[in-house]
Structure 1
């Protein structure tokens, strides 16, 4: 007998951009949406389990286009959790699901551990947000390198290389010294060795945040090689020129294109991005956080003010924007480390934009503050992310044939951003999630709690 679930009497906002449907019914059969629309038009079988959501709102499961599920980011945690990084991925995936993220996209981490965790969640052996992953940022070294954490003389080279190898898998900084043909072959070898879902490469570095790593021909070859293997491509960029090169290389998604140093995106490049509707994974910050940065971190605040200028231009010009936070699941132990983002991850920082479980709510608030249309905000957090990653046939809207991923809210998300926080239920693949059981045995992460 099929498992049938009927969600009745809620207002449905299905993510397609259509008008909300009052007194709607969503019928779920074996984890897939069978019907969704006015209650009078949906026949509910007598064998269905019925949930009455009168007064609530049904929206698609939320998505984050850029997270990092493995939260071991400091040398001590990298060594302590060596050999079991997938446990940290489970912790973060549970935290994400608890707060309404049914699908996330991991854009940097140890491929083998992430793929193992991905398969455990997909098979039902573990509960957590569904995720897709890229593994390493091609062209950058691993976490115990100058690209991420300056370990100095504390660790012997072999120890650092052992950890870094778990990320790099032959595609670290040495990649930039190869010929174009060799780079293409290395990308193919990486994809076949790891089984990751998409590719992220470094168009600019992670040390000076502006130095160009790959030539234009090398970037095109990375894109072509990944496409030939059936993978979508995005790039890490931190300057106008690296962003331009990523666009011209044919990247499918633009990772944090709003971060361009001290100079806003020129109009011709902005117009090209908008005309091609290239998905912009923009990291919006709330007004309160930007004000804090301007006061507490003037140099960073000035750069992020330019990013905010780019974000507003994306909205004004009609760019395709995706909810993007760069979040990871961290706790006090990571925040206490004096070598890791000192002064940026402290408890006193307002509207912390990078913590899984709360960051997506803050992104939505920031989009609202910038005057983004409420329906566009909802679609940027659901359908647009799925479409950008080539998953729109399966996820992102509450329409027949798609996975039954939904969030039930006790407040209208089109009326106020804080209503996204009023979660009544999270449903993934047609199963109503027991949120109280998620992320209870934590390893490194703090639970951000039910936001006020």
Structure 2
């Protein structure tokens, strides 16, 4: 009898040797709950869980274990983007209700791109250290497609809702079937049925687009008229154990939403400074706020042709969507382009954005200081807010509110897990939690930018190096340098080139060799040509050769040219110009 009882205990003790184990040694753990840095720790990952954490001098590492040296590195829970949209790509053509460019590019192409690009988006998120994403407004196609990635090691964990339930739907989205991102709910019955329809697809939550005033009534009249529908949606969702996220950017609609059971406000209140009654209501109802601070400026900077992308986004973003944001510089409908440019750059628009941003920042600090749960989200997919790479900008915007780096890191990790009551599963570096972690080469508490200095990613227990997750094609390299050229960013421009690159005048006249010579040539041109812009007219890819037909605006001249890029060892090795 004794032996029979000892057998399960023996198997339990022996099981650690049967599973794959990874030891992250001598690392500094970022304890997001206690706001402490714990140095000289060894973290053991068994399969997909953190199985042990000890001082490094107290653990003997087995000879057959996988060892990751964490010396001078920082171990952080995987980041969480609590507000994204898979149905939007972040480029210029992704929101025809905001700017209708369908005569230049069929919206169906953008829809198709979003659906076929989902794996690439997920890989890009993981490459940027984001191990969980929350899609707060998708469609039925993405609810189904989500299931294809549930067990994929390269995929962040996905929490997703279906179409946004709304009393107002832009006409451009009507009749898209399973690609439609909105469900129009004009009655209580519509609202209840809107929830029931999504249940068949097993959403993680329900989203309401609480838009007031589009019916010709005042904000308050419109909001109160539609409130019974909003209440019915929330009640039906809660009856089915689903939380409810609400888009409500005015204080009045946000307060109505929270009073009636909203679990998650997905934007800042940007029309007035919050008073104590609203703050206490948020605390009492344990409502989470996702401020999404950068999305509005993404639109206006794109329309106003004032975008300024740094090295990080030029290297990490979807280069094709990023490149499309500059298309307003060459689209032939100059009347339309001028209309949007004048609107975005008007004193009224600039003042309105400045006021909304200022109020949002003040409200974020007020709510954060009061103990309301804040979670980081970008609203990625909207025009000018690119998937994954926009995360750093959002963190820096949160920093401007006065939030400490510790609170920002909490908002980006444990607070995101709390949105769906998953804090016991992930969001901290603790025994028993999922091994969704990022190993950084810099201290994120000292400098928030260090969240981009990613050495190693652990997702579902699988080890990734950032560069392994996305393989650049020859066309990707050509597009990246083209984007940087148009932003006149010399470092990002040179990044895709080999150190010993050779530049030729076609067919065989060598103009110069070496990246440093290239730096001198292009730096001078970038500095002296503020209106420089290259429009890609056509691209042919043949193996490792990319041929671009280009139309370049250079001061007052327009130059037609062909550039032929030869790629070797994942770098541009030779370029031939035909003028």
Q: TM-score range by the shorter chain?
A: 0.7 to 0.9
Of 437, 442, 447, the match for 1:416: 447
Bigger Rg over Cα: 2
Match of 1:121 in 2: 149
**In structure 1, how many angstroms separate the alpha carbons of the residues matched to 2:275 and 2:41?**
45
| In the alignment, structure 1 residue 139 sits paired with structure 2 residue 166 | yes
Instruction: Describe the superposition over 1:41-67 as per-residue Cα deviations: whole angstroms up to 9, x where unpaired.
Output: 445444321111100000000001101
Consecutive unaligned residues of structure 2, counting only runs of 5 or more, are 1-17, 97-101, 307-343, 485-490, 496-579
**In structure 1, how many angstroms separate the alpha carbons of the residues matched to 2:20 and 2:373?**
37
**In structure 1, how many angstroms separate the alpha carbons of the residues matched to 2:112 and 2:452?**
35
Q: Secondary structure of 1:323's match?
A: coil
Q: CA deviation at 1:226?
A: 0.9
CA 1:12–1:368 in structure 2 vs 1: closer, same or farther (change >3 Å)? same
* Alignment of structure 1 residues 310-321 onto 2, 5 Å: 310-321=363-374
- Is contact 2:25-2:70 (8 Å) kept? yes
| In the alignment, structure 1 residue 106 sits paired with structure 2 residue 135 | yes
**In structure 1, how many angstroms separate the alpha carbons of the residues matched to 2:58 and 2:107?**
54
| In the alignment, structure 1 residue 49 sits paired with structure 2 residue 66 | yes
Instruction: Describe the superposition over 1:159-181 as per-residue Cα deviations: whole angstroms up to 9, x where unpaired.
Output: x644255325xx622x12x2x3x
**In structure 2, how many angstroms separate the alpha carbons of the residues matched to 1:123 and 1:216?**
39
Q: CA deviation at 1:101?
A: 0.4
Q: CA deviation at 1:310?
A: 1.5
Q: CA deviation at 1:429?
A: 0.9
**In structure 2, how many angstroms separate the alpha carbons of the residues matched to 1:127 and 1:253?**
28
Match of 1:166 in 2: 179
- Is contact 2:362-2:401 (8 Å) kept? no
Match of 2:281 in 1: 272
* Alignment of structure 1 residues 17-416 onto 2, 5 Å: 17-72=34-89, 73=94, 74=96, 75=102, 76=105, 78-80=107-109, 82=111, 85-112=114-141, 114-124=142-152, 127-139=154-166, 145-146=170-171, 161-163=174-176, 165-167=178-180, 172-173=183-184, 175-176=185-186, 178=187, 180=188, 182-183=189-190, 185-205=192-212, 211-212=222-223, 215-256=226-267, 258-261=268-271, 263-285=272-294, 297-328=350-381, 345=384, 354-416=385-447
Consecutive unaligned residues of structure 1, counting only runs of 5 or more, are 152-159, 331-340, 346-353
Q: CA deviation at 1:402?
A: 1.6
Q: Size of the alignment, in residue pairs?
A: 404
Q: RMSD of aligned C-alpha atoms?
A: 3.4
Please give the TM-score of this superposition, normalised by the length of structure 2: 0.63
CA 1:7–1:207 in structure 2 vs 1: closer, same or farther (change >3 Å)? farther
Please give the TM-score of this superposition, normalised by the length of structure 1: 0.79
Instruction: Describe the superposition over 1:52-90 as per-residue Cα deviations: whole angstroms up to 9, x where unpaired.
Output: 110000000000110112335245464125567432222
CA 1:260–1:418 in structure 2 vs 1: closer, same or farther (change >3 Å)? closer
Match of 2:488 in 1: none
Q: Decide which moves more: 192-201 or 297-306.
A: 297-306
Q: Secondary structure of 1:13's match?
A: strand
CA 1:245–1:41 in structure 2 vs 1: closer, same or farther (change >3 Å)? farther
CA 1:407–1:282 in structure 2 vs 1: closer, same or farther (change >3 Å)? same
Q: CA deviation at 1:195?
A: 2.0
**In structure 2, how many angstroms separate the alpha carbons of the residues matched to 1:206 and 1:215?**
10
CA 1:415–1:44 in structure 2 vs 1: closer, same or farther (change >3 Å)? same
**In structure 1, how many angstroms separate the alpha carbons of the residues matched to 2:176 and 2:396?**
37
**In structure 2, how many angstroms separate the alpha carbons of the residues matched to 1:7 and 1:54?**
9
Q: Would you tell me which structure has more strand in proportion to its own residues?
A: 2
**In structure 1, how many angstroms separate the alpha carbons of the residues matched to 2:410 and 2:399?**
13
Q: CA deviation at 1:438?
A: 3.1
CA 1:368–1:238 in structure 2 vs 1: closer, same or farther (change >3 Å)? closer
CA 1:302–1:373 in structure 2 vs 1: closer, same or farther (change >3 Å)? closer
**In structure 1, how many angstroms separate the alpha carbons of the residues matched to 2:399 and 2:132?**
22
Higher relative contact order (CA 8 A, sep 6+): 1
Q: Decide which moves more: 239-248 or 193-202.
A: 193-202
- Is contact 1:70-1:88 (8 Å) kept? no
**In structure 2, how many angstroms separate the alpha carbons of the residues matched to 1:358 and 1:207?**
33
Q: Secondary structure of 2:117's match?
A: helix
